[in-house]
Amino acid sequence: MSQVPQGRQLAAITLPVALALAAVGAGAQSALLAPEGLLGHGAAAGGLVLLVAAASLHRPLGGSGLGLGTLPLVLAFGWIGVPAAAAAAGLGSSLGQALERRWSKNAPEPPPERRSTARIAESAAQLALAVFAGGSVFRLLAPDGGGDDALALAAGGGGLAYLAVAALMPWVSLRVRAISRRGVAEALLVPLSLDLLGWAVGAILAAVAATSGLALASALVIAFALLAFEAYRNARQTASSRRWATDLEAVTRASARIRGASGELAGLVVDIATECERVVPYSFLELRLEGLSPHKAPQVWSTGPERLLTPRPAAPDPFPPALPGFHRRKDWRVLDFALSSDRPLGHLRLWCDPRRLEPSQAELLSALAPQLAATLDRARLDREARLDPLTGLAARRFLDSRLAESYQRAVDGGAAMAVALCDLDHFKSINDTWGHGVGDQALAETARVLLAEAGARSLAGRWGGEEFLLLLDECSSSEALAAAERIRHAVEHLQLEAEGEPLRLTISIGVVGFPEVFAGGPEELVDLADRALYEAKRRGRNLTLLHLGRGRFRTAHGEVLVDPDAPAAPEPPRLFA
């Protein structure tokens, strides 16, 4: 969207204002258009301004015309004259637009355009010109003393003249601004049809005044204007109720979507950022989480205009970016929400452009904040139930459940799976020599290696004490043995210190694959892995062994070892002596 030069903007605004002032001033000198005693009708002109303002607020077809504000004009042409009626119509239009702009500031349904004072004056002058043109034609075609036919002809001609000028002036404004826009005529004619309806009703009221007196016609005009204002007020309340109902439904759906989202922390943050964007057009978002990491250290996630999630604080620019057209530069509107339940869960902060933010959007986000806090609380409880608090690995209960599911899936579908049971060597001596604090550090570092080296298709968990279990889905025995050997090698090369002295860790691992080695259930599968672990311990520790069945084990280098204490394989039956 290109910016309009300031000179063209000024010309487009001053041109209709100057033409309207000139037309009203010249028309006031005409005996035909301005009846005698014009100055004595000041109260009537003031009342006309109020009637036009009240009736013009109701424009169900949109547009910027007078709408039903044209109702009292035909009657006013013969009472206070065309120039005064045109001036009153312009002032009434200005008052109506100003009131609508004022009332729409806190409305839940924002208007399609919030006009400045200069744009209101330009629109009012255009309508005053249209009313002057329509009134002039009406007065020329319906001289005093004419019959009903002459009045109907004059009202029709005046209405067409009003419609022509009201549709022409916005097109002239676009041409002065050098803006090319298609479909202007079609967009104007539909809402201006309501103006013609009001004009026709006004002609009927003028006929009523000619036969039954001005008092009855005036009372009917006031009643119609009040009904139009009441229709506008009801439409606003209906739109407000509809918008709040839609917002409430949006909050409900947003909370449901987040509740059904992935339990992974990064995925949860993405879901929260997405739901916030549905509500508020933010530029930067920062979410600080507390108590959701394995060691309960705060975590910070942020996203910017490119919508890339990063694990670091947000870094917004000093000011919002420039928008097309002329806009006053403003500071960021920062929305802060503390997320908590029975304990602090996090802090949500959004940087919004105040020129694009509606008050209802900020209120809707406030309604969504408790849902976000409840989601984080559920994630915390779920994480505490699933994960070991020291290492951040899966807890024993969660491991048992996943192990049973994987075994059943392998039995039903014939997929491969493997289990690796890991045990830190001489861990008791580490606790006895250096204390439980160093022992906890050793466990945490070993868990970090398991998470880094295990692979995407595995689940690592703490089986108990210094024992860890690795569940590998869709993984053959050879692949599981290679993964376990990588873990053993990484643990052996950990750089740890205890009171300034180097601390060397080693780990022994027993691996078993299914269905290469048959197991009657998940417990028996773990028992086979435990036998391989026991053999690795017996053969000197810091070793990885794969259970091959019948007391045979294979190292990571391909050497096959045999347990001499294992029961011998049963001798096959002899069919012939």
The three-state DSSP-derived secondary structure of 389-438 is CCCCCECHHHHHHHHHHHHHHHHHHCCCEEEEEEEECCHHHHHHHHCHHH
| pLDDT, position 488 | 95
- C-alpha span between 26 and 98 (Å, rounded): 28
Q: Rounded CA gap, 422 and 36, in Å?
A: 108
The pLDDT of residue 325: 53
For position 137, what pLDDT does the model report? Answer: 84
Number of neighbouring beta carbons within 10 Å of residue 147: 10
For strand 417-424 and strand 344-352, is the pairing parallel, antiparallel, or unpaired?
unpaired
Q: What is the pLDDT of residue 163?
A: 82
Question: What percentage of the chain exceeds 90 in pLDDT?
Answer: 22
Please give the C-alpha separations between residue 413 and each of 405, 410, 515, in angstroms, as whole numbers.
Answer: 12, 5, 11
pLDDT for 262 equals: 39
Which pLDDT score is estimated for 255? 45
Q: What is the pLDDT of residue 509?
A: 96
Residue 235 CB contacts under 8 Å (≥ 6 apart), including other chains: 58, 60
According to DSSP, the residues that pair with 549 across neighbouring strands are 552
* pLDDT for res 478: 93
Distance CA 112, CA 495 (A): 64
* Those residues with Cβ within 8 angstroms of residue 359's Cβ, 6 or more apart along the chain or in another chain: 105, 106
The per-residue b/e assignment along 79-95, b for 16 or more CB within 10 angstroms, e otherwise, is bbbbbbbbbbbbbbbbb
At residue 103, the pLDDT reads 73
Q: How far is the C-alpha of 511 from the C-alpha of 482, rounded, in Å?
A: 10
Q: What's the farthest any 2 CA atoms get from each other in the chain?
A: 144
> pLDDT below 50 — which residues of the chain?
1-2, 37-40, 108, 112, 251-263, 294-295, 569-572, 574-577
Contact in structure between 239 and 111 (CB atoms under 8 Å): no
67 is written with which tokens? 């709408």
Neighbouring residues of 35: CB distance < 8 A, sequence distance ≥ 6: 78, 79, 80, 81
Question: In residues, how long is the chain?
Answer: 577
